[in-house]
Amino acid sequence: MKLGLFLIILCIFTIIIAYITYNIYEYMGNSLEIREINSYKKKCHTINIPTTLSHLIPINDIYLIASEFKSLEFYNFKDYLNGFAAQKKEDNLYLFNIKKQKYEKAKIMDFPGNIPFHPDGLSLYKKSENSYVLYVINHAVNLIYIGKERVEKINLEYNPYNEEVTLFYDSGIILGDEYFLRVDSISVIEPDVFYFTTNKPFPSPGDEEVLINYKKIIHFFFYNFLETLFTMLNIKKCNTYLYYNNVVTKVLQSGSLLNKGIAYDKKRKLLYIIKSMEKELNVFEVHYDNDYYTKLIKKIPILYVGNNIYYDENKDLIYIGINGKMNEYYAIIDSYKKNNNFDKVDVYSGYEIIDPKNNYSINELMIMKNDYKWVSSAIETNDNIYMSSIFTNGIYTCEK
């Protein structure tokens, strides 16, 4: 009896220590690093686009394309669904002309009218010069459609003579119900062969009402403890998957507390995956011999919480949108729910550039406080860095 009680106490003690350690070293971030680098300044400004943008990627030296995703509205889940059902409101893709410094909503010709469009992760597959297929993660949900997790294929053509981009809908791939509202980023290897990451931030919109009821009953500290514990127990549910021959398979050794960005290095045949909570860049070898096989070969520590990732094959550099602390994300959500704004929440964010040629060392790092909150992706083109955010409207750009 005494031994059983001792084991129960030991188990509880171990969980508490794990909780405290996890919060200090992973969940809370490293404030010392932030203080050291916060003095780093560049000439930056915001490009006014009246919405938040989840993923930003370049098409060429003239155009960027970004997915609109209203993350804060998403957390008012019932209003989100009701609004889209009643008003047939949808999100958009945005084109940004770097040369003209102008943006426009991208018109997708022949897009099916019965499918809701809420784009998130993007991947551009180049077929030939000026001809591409854009793969778009679509959280296709409203009260009428009910909801499916889809990957939309959109043919994208660039006309170099009039410098215009046109988009034509091709087809859609429906993923299983187990991935609903959990797919984050996508990276295309070959036509209809792609990897995608899943995550489940806690609390997820679907769980929110239940958790709010519990929060009224359970002491705040204990609620936070459960939140972290459930997140840790959810590790096996957050993985990377391969879509090939119309079948989805799990990538081994890719389990994470929060999988985010993914990118493919075609030259080296490597897959780069961001594990946000763990603050890691994981590197997988991609092999093909009548079937696809991936093998984890490196775990690269990154200094901050990573979000989307972009591999630039011309510069041979990896660009990561970063944020200081994971708990800042929840502070923004809480502030928005209570006050409908988050101006008083301090947030560190920026970008981290990794050099694969130099043993994946940091090539460049920029971190800022409150200038542009919660960077979701970062890319470089024409000697400028461009950043997107799921919490702050517009594109933030900095001169190199």
pLDDT above 90 (res 238): no
pLDDT for the residue numbered 206: 42
pLDDT for the residue numbered 65: 98
User: What distance in Å separates the CA atoms of residue 61 and residue 175, rounded to the nearest whole number?
Assistant: 33
For each of the domains in the chain, give its residue range(s) and CATH number, in order of start.
Answer: 38-199+238-399 (2.120.10.30)
User: What distance in Å separates the CA atoms of residue 303 and residue 306, rounded to the nearest whole number?
Assistant: 9
The model carries a pTM of 0.85
pLDDT for the residue numbered 204: 44
CB atoms within 10 A of CB 166: 13
CA angle, 285 then 351 then 372, to 5°: 145
CA angle, 175 then 178 then 179, to 5°: 55
Which token pair is 301? 């520590």
pLDDT tens sequence across 275-288:
988 899 999 999 99
Q: Is the dihedral of CA 309, 315, 317, 322 positive or negative?
A: negative
Q: Is the dihedral of CA 264, 102, 69, 362 positive or negative?
A: positive
Percent of the chain with pLDDT over 90: 55
pLDDT above 70 (res 313): yes
Residues in the chain: 400
Dihedrals φ, ψ of 2, to 5°?
Answer: -65, -40
* Range name among 162-176, 245-259, 378-392 with the lowest pLDDT average: 245-259
pLDDT above 70 (res 5): no
